[in-house]
Amino acid sequence: MATYNPFLPPITLLGTTDNTAVGSVKYNVNDTTGLGPNGEDQYIRYTVDITISGEQLIGDSSVRDSRGIGVGGKYNGLDVKVGDYIAAIDGTHIYKIVNISSKSSLALSITYEDVDMSIARMKSNRNNAIPISKSILIFRLGDNGDPKLHIDELSSFTTTMLYPL
C-alpha cells in the first residue's frame, strides 16, 4: 500500500492508457444516485494497461533505484504502488489504484477505482471509465489527502509557471 514518505521526493510519472478500460466491479449500492443496481448499474472499478513515458530522475539516492551517492536516483513503473493515484492530465478523471496485476519499468496493468463514484456523479453522462490513449499522471497523496507532485515534472502537464519567492 502506498504511504506518503515526506523524506523522499514525490513520485510523478507520466504515461498513456493502452486499451479501453474494462469494468471489473460494479457499484452495487442501492441509493438515490441511480448509479447502483436500482439504476444504471455502473462499474466502480476498471482494469487498464498503461505505458509509462519514461523515468523520473531525482536528486535523492536513497530510493529503490539509486544511481549512486551524490548522483541521485530514479522512479519508474516498478515504484508504482497500490494506493497511488492516476489522473488524466487534462483534469477530467482521477482514480485510486486498487490492484496491480503486473508491472515493469515502462508498463503497468492495474485496477483502478472511482472513489465514492465521484467521477460518475460529476459527469452528466455518468461515464467514469478513463478513455483509451489518454495521457495520465501517476502520483501519491500526502497525509492530509493533498496531491504530492515533483516540481520538475509540472511543466509536462501544466502551463503554470513557478517562480522562486
Query: If DSSP codes are grouped into helix, strand and coil, which group holds residue 75?
Result: strand
User: What's the pLDDT band for 50 if we cut at 50, 70, 90?
Assistant: very high
Instruction: Give 151-157's long-range contacts (Cβ < 8 A, gap of 24+).
Output: 152/57, 153/12, 153/14, 153/56, 156/14, 156/89, 157/14, 157/89
Q: Is the pLDDT of residue 158 over 70?
A: no
Cell of 81: 504502488
Give residue 19's pLDDT: 95
* Cβ proximity of 139 and 85 under 8 Å: yes
Q: Amino acid identity, residue 64?
A: R
**Of 157 and 88, more confident:** 88
Model pLDDT for residues 16-34, shown as the tens digit of each residue: 999 999 999 999 999 999 9
